[in-house]
A = this chain, B = another copy of it.
Amino acid sequence: MYKIGHIAKQLNVSTDTLRYYERQGLLQASVRSPAGYRLYDDSALEQMRFIVRAKAVGFSLRDIQELLTIKIDKHNHSCEEVKSLTLQKLTQTRQRIEELLKFERSLSVLAERCCGGEESADDCSILTALEDVDGSA
């Protein structure tokens, strides 16, 4: 049985994060010591690893809650549910990427056109582009 600090070090998260996940219903300590310390067993450690990995591929804590619900009772859930969550997250991620790519393109056009010199910003092409109705950037 491991204390919270041990788990935290193993998985490179803070003890605060572990307590926060507990409040969010993601990971309960297996038992408490007589003094009230959280004690985690190997299966709790494994569950925390699952959470960390799910976060690493972009799932939110809310998504992870759903994944855990399924994982804990796999037999009564379908593969389809899991795939659906994954595809939904994939779609969201792609949408966000698209948005950021638009930002990226605009910003790089703005940056390219700007001399970036020490002279005053009176004729700065970036400011001009943001002022003009003709937003050709």
Within 8 A of B (CB), among A85-137: 86-87, 89-90, 93-94, 96-97, 100-101, 103-104, 106-108, 110-111, 114-124, 126-127, 130-131, 133, 135, 137
Q: Copies per complex? A: 2
Q: How far is the CA of A19 from the CA of B97 in the complex (A)?
A: 30
Q: Is the CB of B117 within 8 A of A71?
A: no
Say whether A78 faces chain B, with CB atoms less than 8 Å apart: yes
Given A100-B96, A133-B49: A79 and B117 within 8 A (CB)? yes
Interface with B: A9-17, A34-42, A51-59, which one?
A51-59
- Identify 16 residue pairs between A and B in the complex whose beta-carbon atoms are under 8 Å apart, listed by A's number: A50-B130, A57-B106, A57-B110, A58-B103, A58-B107, A74-B122, A74-B124, A77-B120, A79-B115, A79-B121, A79-B124, A79-B126, A83-B116, A90-B104, A94-B104, A97-B100
The chain A residues found within 8 Å of chain B, CB to CB, are 46, 49-50, 53-54, 56-58, 67, 70-71, 74-84, 86-87, 89-90, 93-94, 96-97, 100-101, 103-104, 106-108, 110-111, 114-124, 126-127, 130-131, 133, 135, 137
